[in-house]
Copies of this chain bind each other. A is one copy, B any other.
Amino acid sequence: MENFVFSNKTELIFGRGVEQQVGQKVSACAKKVLLHYGGGSIKRTGLYDRITASLRESGVDFIELGGVQPNPRVTLVRQGIELCRKEGVDFILAVGGGSVIDSAKAIGVGVPYDGDVWDFFARKAAPEATLPVGVVLTIPAAGSESSNSMVITNEEGLLKKGYNTVLIRPQFAFLNPELTYTLPFYQTACGASDMLAHIMERYFTTVQHVDVSDRMCEGVMRSILFNAPILKDQPENYDARAEIMLAGTIAHNDSLQPGRIGDWASHGIEHELSAIYDIAHGAGLAIIFPAWMRYVYHTDINRFVQFAVRVMDVDLSFGDPEAIVEEGIRRLEAFYQRMELPIRLHEIGIDASRFEEMAQKAAPRGAFQVLDAGDICKIFELAL
Protein backbone atom coordinates (compact mmCIF):
# COMPACT_ATOMS: atom_id res chain seq x y z
CA MET A 1 0.00 0.00 0.00
CA GLU A 2 1.29 3.46 -0.90
CA ASN A 3 1.25 6.35 1.57
CA PHE A 4 -1.81 8.53 0.97
CA VAL A 5 -3.76 11.56 2.09
CA PHE A 6 -7.55 11.39 1.91
CA SER A 7 -10.17 13.99 2.65
CA ASN A 8 -13.63 14.51 1.24
CA LYS A 9 -15.75 17.33 2.54
CA THR A 10 -18.86 16.72 0.39
CA GLU A 11 -22.00 16.23 2.46
CA LEU A 12 -24.31 13.64 0.87
CA ILE A 13 -28.05 14.10 1.42
CA PHE A 14 -29.55 10.92 0.00
CA GLY A 15 -33.06 9.58 -0.47
CA ARG A 16 -36.63 10.17 -1.52
CA GLY A 17 -37.65 13.82 -1.77
CA VAL A 18 -34.43 15.25 -0.35
CA GLU A 19 -34.18 17.97 -3.03
CA GLN A 20 -37.04 19.79 -1.30
CA GLN A 21 -34.46 20.91 1.28
CA VAL A 22 -32.19 22.56 -1.27
CA GLY A 23 -33.35 26.15 -0.67
CA GLN A 24 -32.79 25.85 3.05
CA LYS A 25 -29.33 24.38 2.50
CA VAL A 26 -28.26 26.99 -0.06
CA SER A 27 -29.59 29.90 2.00
CA ALA A 28 -27.23 28.93 4.81
CA CYS A 29 -24.12 29.38 2.65
CA ALA A 30 -24.88 31.85 -0.16
CA LYS A 31 -26.06 35.37 -0.83
CA LYS A 32 -26.34 35.23 -4.60
CA VAL A 33 -26.57 31.95 -6.51
CA LEU A 34 -25.98 30.86 -10.09
CA LEU A 35 -28.42 28.07 -10.94
CA HIS A 36 -26.65 26.05 -13.63
CA TYR A 37 -28.30 23.32 -15.71
CA GLY A 38 -28.44 21.57 -19.05
CA GLY A 39 -30.76 21.19 -21.98
CA GLY A 40 -34.11 21.58 -20.33
CA SER A 41 -35.02 18.04 -19.18
CA ILE A 42 -35.24 19.40 -15.64
CA LYS A 43 -38.01 21.69 -16.90
CA ARG A 44 -39.92 18.81 -18.51
CA THR A 45 -39.77 16.69 -15.36
CA GLY A 46 -40.85 19.49 -13.05
CA LEU A 47 -37.58 19.42 -11.12
CA TYR A 48 -36.76 22.97 -12.23
CA ASP A 49 -40.02 24.21 -10.73
CA ARG A 50 -39.44 22.41 -7.43
CA ILE A 51 -35.87 23.69 -7.11
CA THR A 52 -36.71 27.30 -7.92
CA ALA A 53 -39.72 27.16 -5.59
CA SER A 54 -37.50 25.84 -2.81
CA LEU A 55 -34.94 28.60 -3.45
CA ARG A 56 -37.63 31.30 -3.43
CA GLU A 57 -39.24 29.94 -0.26
CA SER A 58 -35.89 30.22 1.48
CA GLY A 59 -35.36 33.74 0.19
CA VAL A 60 -32.38 32.83 -1.99
CA ASP A 61 -31.45 35.40 -4.65
CA PHE A 62 -30.49 33.54 -7.84
CA ILE A 63 -29.78 33.95 -11.53
CA GLU A 64 -29.69 31.20 -14.15
CA LEU A 65 -27.48 29.76 -16.83
CA GLY A 66 -28.83 26.74 -18.70
CA GLY A 67 -27.68 25.09 -21.89
CA VAL A 68 -24.81 22.88 -20.69
CA GLN A 69 -24.20 20.21 -23.36
CA PRO A 70 -22.81 16.70 -22.90
CA ASN A 71 -19.01 17.04 -23.10
CA PRO A 72 -19.40 20.54 -21.61
CA ARG A 73 -17.82 23.37 -23.58
CA VAL A 74 -15.34 25.94 -22.36
CA THR A 75 -17.28 28.64 -24.26
CA LEU A 76 -20.24 28.29 -21.90
CA VAL A 77 -17.88 28.11 -18.92
CA ARG A 78 -16.37 31.46 -19.94
CA GLN A 79 -19.87 32.89 -20.29
CA GLY A 80 -20.72 31.64 -16.79
CA ILE A 81 -17.59 33.21 -15.35
CA GLU A 82 -18.46 36.61 -16.83
CA LEU A 83 -22.02 36.34 -15.56
CA CYS A 84 -20.92 35.43 -12.01
CA ARG A 85 -18.50 38.33 -11.88
CA LYS A 86 -21.05 40.80 -13.24
CA GLU A 87 -23.79 39.67 -10.86
CA GLY A 88 -21.66 39.15 -7.76
CA VAL A 89 -22.50 35.44 -7.50
CA ASP A 90 -20.97 33.69 -4.47
CA PHE A 91 -22.35 30.13 -4.91
CA ILE A 92 -23.09 27.85 -7.86
CA LEU A 93 -25.90 25.31 -7.70
CA ALA A 94 -25.51 22.64 -10.38
CA VAL A 95 -28.71 20.73 -11.19
CA GLY A 96 -27.98 17.89 -13.58
CA GLY A 97 -25.39 15.22 -14.32
CA GLY A 98 -21.62 15.22 -14.66
CA SER A 99 -21.50 17.70 -17.53
CA VAL A 100 -23.44 20.33 -15.60
CA ILE A 101 -21.41 19.74 -12.43
CA ASP A 102 -18.09 19.86 -14.29
CA SER A 103 -19.16 23.07 -16.00
CA ALA A 104 -20.11 24.52 -12.59
CA LYS A 105 -16.74 23.49 -11.13
CA ALA A 106 -14.90 25.14 -14.02
CA ILE A 107 -16.91 28.34 -13.60
CA GLY A 108 -16.16 28.14 -9.87
CA VAL A 109 -12.38 28.13 -10.29
CA GLY A 110 -12.55 30.58 -13.20
CA VAL A 111 -14.28 33.41 -11.33
CA PRO A 112 -11.45 34.30 -8.91
CA TYR A 113 -8.73 33.71 -11.56
CA ASP A 114 -7.35 36.62 -13.58
CA GLY A 115 -6.43 34.66 -16.72
CA ASP A 116 -8.46 32.42 -19.01
CA VAL A 117 -9.97 29.32 -17.38
CA TRP A 118 -8.52 27.02 -20.08
CA ASP A 119 -5.09 27.75 -18.57
CA PHE A 120 -5.88 25.18 -15.87
CA PHE A 121 -6.68 22.45 -18.38
CA ALA A 122 -3.65 23.39 -20.48
CA ARG A 123 -1.54 23.05 -17.30
CA LYS A 124 -0.42 26.69 -17.56
CA ALA A 125 -1.80 27.59 -14.11
CA ALA A 126 -3.25 25.98 -10.98
CA PRO A 127 -6.43 27.22 -9.31
CA GLU A 128 -5.97 28.66 -5.82
CA ALA A 129 -9.56 29.48 -4.96
CA THR A 130 -13.08 28.66 -6.09
CA LEU A 131 -16.66 29.66 -5.62
CA PRO A 132 -18.34 26.87 -3.66
CA VAL A 133 -20.50 24.47 -5.67
CA GLY A 134 -23.57 22.51 -4.56
CA VAL A 135 -25.29 19.76 -6.54
CA VAL A 136 -28.71 18.26 -7.18
CA LEU A 137 -27.84 15.11 -9.12
CA THR A 138 -30.05 13.81 -11.94
CA ILE A 139 -27.72 11.33 -13.68
CA PRO A 140 -25.64 8.81 -11.71
CA ALA A 141 -22.52 8.33 -13.81
CA ALA A 142 -19.60 10.72 -13.60
CA GLY A 143 -19.37 10.83 -9.81
CA SER A 144 -18.60 14.53 -10.14
CA GLU A 145 -20.98 15.29 -7.26
CA SER A 146 -18.29 14.30 -4.78
CA SER A 147 -15.14 13.97 -6.90
CA ASN A 148 -12.07 16.17 -7.17
CA SER A 149 -12.19 16.18 -10.96
CA MET A 150 -13.76 18.01 -13.89
CA VAL A 151 -13.53 17.44 -17.65
CA ILE A 152 -14.10 20.26 -20.15
CA THR A 153 -14.06 20.29 -23.94
CA ASN A 154 -12.41 23.09 -25.89
CA GLU A 155 -14.16 23.34 -29.25
CA GLU A 156 -11.08 24.89 -30.87
CA GLY A 157 -8.98 21.85 -31.61
CA LEU A 158 -11.49 19.36 -30.20
CA LEU A 159 -9.57 19.10 -26.95
CA LYS A 160 -11.18 17.31 -24.00
CA LYS A 161 -9.14 17.76 -20.85
CA GLY A 162 -9.52 16.92 -17.19
CA TYR A 163 -8.26 18.66 -14.08
CA ASN A 164 -8.09 17.32 -10.52
CA THR A 165 -7.92 19.25 -7.25
CA VAL A 166 -9.61 18.75 -3.87
CA LEU A 167 -10.55 22.44 -4.10
CA ILE A 168 -13.42 21.57 -6.43
CA ARG A 169 -15.18 18.90 -4.40
CA PRO A 170 -18.78 20.13 -4.03
CA GLN A 171 -19.95 21.33 -0.61
CA PHE A 172 -23.02 19.12 -0.73
CA ALA A 173 -24.90 16.82 -3.08
CA PHE A 174 -28.59 16.02 -3.02
CA LEU A 175 -29.09 12.47 -4.29
CA ASN A 176 -32.66 11.38 -4.85
CA PRO A 177 -32.89 8.10 -6.80
CA GLU A 178 -36.47 8.96 -7.85
CA LEU A 179 -35.08 11.77 -10.01
CA THR A 180 -33.45 9.11 -12.21
CA TYR A 181 -36.70 7.21 -13.00
CA THR A 182 -37.14 9.15 -16.26
CA LEU A 183 -33.62 8.56 -17.61
CA PRO A 184 -33.67 6.74 -20.97
CA PHE A 185 -32.14 3.28 -20.57
CA TYR A 186 -29.24 4.27 -22.81
CA GLN A 187 -28.24 7.02 -20.37
CA THR A 188 -28.63 4.65 -17.41
CA ALA A 189 -26.39 2.18 -19.22
CA CYS A 190 -23.75 4.79 -20.06
CA GLY A 191 -23.80 5.87 -16.43
CA ALA A 192 -23.28 2.31 -15.19
CA SER A 193 -20.41 1.90 -17.64
CA ASP A 194 -18.79 5.14 -16.47
CA MET A 195 -18.97 4.30 -12.75
CA LEU A 196 -17.72 0.76 -13.40
CA ALA A 197 -14.80 2.28 -15.31
CA HIS A 198 -14.02 4.66 -12.42
CA ILE A 199 -13.62 1.63 -10.19
CA MET A 200 -11.67 -0.45 -12.74
CA GLU A 201 -9.24 2.45 -13.32
CA ARG A 202 -8.46 2.22 -9.61
CA TYR A 203 -8.63 -1.56 -9.40
CA PHE A 204 -6.03 -2.25 -12.08
CA THR A 205 -2.97 -1.06 -10.21
CA THR A 206 0.52 -2.43 -9.87
CA VAL A 207 0.54 -1.48 -6.18
CA GLN A 208 0.59 -4.70 -4.17
CA HIS A 209 -1.16 -5.34 -0.83
CA VAL A 210 -4.26 -3.24 -1.25
CA ASP A 211 -6.60 -5.87 0.12
CA VAL A 212 -9.17 -3.72 1.93
CA SER A 213 -9.70 -1.42 -1.04
CA ASP A 214 -9.54 -4.33 -3.54
CA ARG A 215 -12.45 -5.93 -1.74
CA MET A 216 -14.40 -2.70 -1.49
CA CYS A 217 -13.87 -2.12 -5.23
CA GLU A 218 -14.99 -5.66 -5.99
CA GLY A 219 -18.09 -5.29 -3.85
CA VAL A 220 -19.23 -2.07 -5.50
CA MET A 221 -18.51 -3.46 -8.99
CA ARG A 222 -20.56 -6.58 -8.24
CA SER A 223 -23.41 -4.42 -7.05
CA ILE A 224 -23.37 -2.37 -10.28
CA LEU A 225 -23.26 -5.55 -12.39
CA PHE A 226 -26.26 -6.91 -10.49
CA ASN A 227 -28.44 -3.82 -10.17
CA ALA A 228 -27.95 -1.96 -13.48
CA PRO A 229 -29.61 -4.59 -15.73
CA ILE A 230 -32.71 -4.57 -13.47
CA LEU A 231 -33.38 -1.02 -14.68
CA LYS A 232 -33.99 -2.14 -18.27
CA ASP A 233 -37.42 -3.56 -17.43
CA GLN A 234 -37.97 -1.71 -14.17
CA PRO A 235 -36.91 1.92 -14.59
CA GLU A 236 -38.86 2.89 -11.46
CA ASN A 237 -37.35 0.24 -9.19
CA TYR A 238 -36.32 2.49 -6.29
CA ASP A 239 -34.01 -0.06 -4.69
CA ALA A 240 -31.95 -0.68 -7.83
CA ARG A 241 -31.90 3.06 -8.65
CA ALA A 242 -30.66 3.78 -5.12
CA GLU A 243 -27.84 1.21 -5.32
CA ILE A 244 -26.71 2.60 -8.68
CA MET A 245 -26.85 6.21 -7.49
CA LEU A 246 -24.86 5.39 -4.35
CA ALA A 247 -22.37 3.29 -6.34
CA GLY A 248 -21.78 6.15 -8.79
CA THR A 249 -20.81 8.50 -5.99
CA ILE A 250 -18.60 6.01 -4.16
CA ALA A 251 -16.93 4.97 -7.42
CA HIS A 252 -15.31 8.37 -7.83
CA ASN A 253 -15.11 10.07 -4.40
CA ASP A 254 -11.79 8.39 -3.54
CA SER A 255 -13.25 6.07 -0.87
CA LEU A 256 -12.01 3.21 -3.07
CA GLN A 257 -8.62 4.82 -3.67
CA PRO A 258 -6.65 4.48 -0.40
CA GLY A 259 -3.05 3.57 -1.04
CA ARG A 260 -3.60 2.74 -4.72
CA ILE A 261 -2.24 4.29 -7.93
CA GLY A 262 -4.94 4.31 -10.59
CA ASP A 263 -4.32 3.77 -14.28
CA TRP A 264 -6.72 6.12 -16.15
CA ALA A 265 -5.43 5.21 -19.63
CA SER A 266 -8.86 3.99 -20.77
CA HIS A 267 -10.44 7.25 -19.64
CA GLY A 268 -7.76 9.27 -21.42
CA ILE A 269 -8.10 7.25 -24.63
CA GLU A 270 -11.89 7.49 -24.52
CA HIS A 271 -11.72 11.26 -24.04
CA GLU A 272 -9.95 11.57 -27.40
CA LEU A 273 -12.58 9.38 -28.98
CA SER A 274 -15.56 11.34 -27.61
CA ALA A 275 -13.89 14.69 -28.27
CA ILE A 276 -13.75 13.89 -31.99
CA TYR A 277 -16.86 11.75 -32.49
CA ASP A 278 -19.02 13.26 -29.69
CA ILE A 279 -20.21 9.82 -28.53
CA ALA A 280 -21.36 9.23 -24.96
CA HIS A 281 -18.44 8.74 -22.58
CA GLY A 282 -19.93 5.56 -21.09
CA ALA A 283 -20.43 4.01 -24.52
CA GLY A 284 -16.86 4.85 -25.47
CA LEU A 285 -15.60 3.22 -22.28
CA ALA A 286 -17.51 0.00 -23.04
CA ILE A 287 -15.54 -0.15 -26.29
CA ILE A 288 -12.13 0.89 -24.99
CA PHE A 289 -11.96 -1.01 -21.70
CA PRO A 290 -12.05 -4.61 -23.04
CA ALA A 291 -9.46 -3.69 -25.69
CA TRP A 292 -7.22 -2.07 -23.08
CA MET A 293 -7.55 -5.14 -20.88
CA ARG A 294 -6.52 -7.51 -23.66
CA TYR A 295 -3.54 -5.31 -24.51
CA VAL A 296 -2.12 -4.85 -20.99
CA TYR A 297 -3.06 -7.86 -18.87
CA HIS A 298 0.32 -9.56 -19.14
CA THR A 299 1.79 -6.74 -17.02
CA ASP A 300 0.19 -8.44 -14.01
CA ILE A 301 -1.92 -11.38 -15.04
CA ASN A 302 -2.70 -12.25 -11.42
CA ARG A 303 -4.61 -9.02 -10.97
CA PHE A 304 -6.76 -9.85 -13.98
CA VAL A 305 -7.30 -13.39 -12.70
CA GLN A 306 -8.46 -11.90 -9.40
CA PHE A 307 -10.87 -9.62 -11.30
CA ALA A 308 -12.25 -12.54 -13.31
CA VAL A 309 -12.69 -14.74 -10.23
CA ARG A 310 -13.89 -12.28 -7.61
CA VAL A 311 -15.89 -9.87 -9.77
CA MET A 312 -16.97 -11.97 -12.75
CA ASP A 313 -17.40 -15.28 -10.87
CA VAL A 314 -15.08 -17.25 -13.16
CA ASP A 315 -13.93 -20.43 -11.42
CA LEU A 316 -10.34 -20.31 -10.26
CA SER A 317 -8.00 -22.96 -11.59
CA PHE A 318 -4.26 -22.69 -11.94
CA GLY A 319 -3.85 -24.44 -15.26
CA ASP A 320 -4.64 -21.67 -17.71
CA PRO A 321 -4.71 -18.15 -16.27
CA GLU A 322 -5.01 -16.61 -19.75
CA ALA A 323 -8.27 -18.45 -20.32
CA ILE A 324 -9.58 -17.18 -16.99
CA VAL A 325 -8.66 -13.60 -17.90
CA GLU A 326 -10.27 -13.89 -21.34
CA GLU A 327 -13.44 -15.34 -19.81
CA GLY A 328 -13.55 -12.43 -17.33
CA ILE A 329 -13.27 -9.92 -20.17
CA ARG A 330 -15.96 -11.71 -22.18
CA ARG A 331 -18.31 -11.60 -19.21
CA LEU A 332 -17.65 -7.87 -18.89
CA GLU A 333 -18.48 -7.49 -22.59
CA ALA A 334 -21.63 -9.55 -22.07
CA PHE A 335 -22.64 -7.14 -19.33
CA TYR A 336 -22.15 -4.17 -21.66
CA GLN A 337 -24.19 -5.89 -24.35
CA ARG A 338 -26.96 -6.68 -21.89
CA MET A 339 -26.92 -2.95 -21.16
CA GLU A 340 -27.32 -2.37 -24.94
CA LEU A 341 -23.95 -0.65 -25.20
CA PRO A 342 -21.58 -1.07 -28.16
CA ILE A 343 -18.39 -3.02 -27.51
CA ARG A 344 -16.63 -2.38 -30.85
CA LEU A 345 -15.98 0.82 -32.81
CA HIS A 346 -17.48 -0.51 -36.04
CA GLU A 347 -20.86 -0.84 -34.30
CA ILE A 348 -21.03 2.96 -34.04
CA GLY A 349 -19.57 3.62 -37.48
CA ILE A 350 -16.05 4.57 -36.44
CA ASP A 351 -13.22 3.36 -38.69
CA ALA A 352 -9.43 3.48 -38.38
CA SER A 353 -8.97 6.78 -40.24
CA ARG A 354 -8.24 8.93 -37.19
CA PHE A 355 -6.60 6.33 -34.88
CA GLU A 356 -3.17 7.88 -35.37
CA GLU A 357 -4.40 11.40 -34.60
CA MET A 358 -6.25 10.32 -31.46
CA ALA A 359 -3.35 8.17 -30.27
CA GLN A 360 -0.92 11.07 -30.68
CA LYS A 361 -3.19 13.33 -28.65
CA ALA A 362 -3.72 10.74 -25.91
CA ALA A 363 -0.12 9.53 -25.46
CA PRO A 364 1.53 8.95 -23.08
CA ARG A 365 -1.11 7.36 -20.84
CA GLY A 366 -1.44 4.90 -18.02
CA ALA A 367 0.22 3.68 -14.85
CA PHE A 368 -0.58 -0.05 -14.78
CA GLN A 369 1.26 -0.05 -18.10
CA VAL A 370 2.57 3.18 -19.62
CA LEU A 371 1.32 3.44 -23.20
CA ASP A 372 2.85 5.40 -26.08
CA ALA A 373 1.02 6.41 -29.25
CA GLY A 374 1.89 3.09 -30.93
CA ASP A 375 0.38 1.14 -28.02
CA ILE A 376 -2.76 3.26 -28.10
CA CYS A 377 -3.14 2.67 -31.86
CA LYS A 378 -3.01 -1.06 -31.20
CA ILE A 379 -5.71 -0.72 -28.53
CA PHE A 380 -7.90 1.13 -31.05
CA GLU A 381 -7.25 -1.72 -33.51
CA LEU A 382 -8.30 -4.30 -30.91
CA ALA A 383 -11.46 -2.22 -30.40
CA LEU A 384 -12.27 -1.98 -34.10
Contact = CB atoms under 8 A, between A and B. Distances in A.
Contacts of A6: 11-12, 14
A214 B10 CA distance: 22
Given A5-B13, A215-B218, 14 more contacts: A1-B243, A1-B246, A6-B14, A7-B11, A9-B9, A209-B242, A209-B243, A212-B219, A212-B220, A212-B223, A212-B250, A216-B216, A216-B219, A216-B220
Interface residues of A, number: 41
A226 B246 contact: no
A353 interface: no
Interface in A1-41: 1-16, 18
Contacts of A218: 215, 219
A258 interface: yes
Contact of A220 (B16, B215, B220): B215
Contacts of A13: 5
Interface string A229-268: 0000000000100110011001000010011000000000
A14 B211 contact: no
Interface string A192-225: 0000000000000000110111111011101100
A220 B250 CA distance: 15
A246 B258 contact: yes
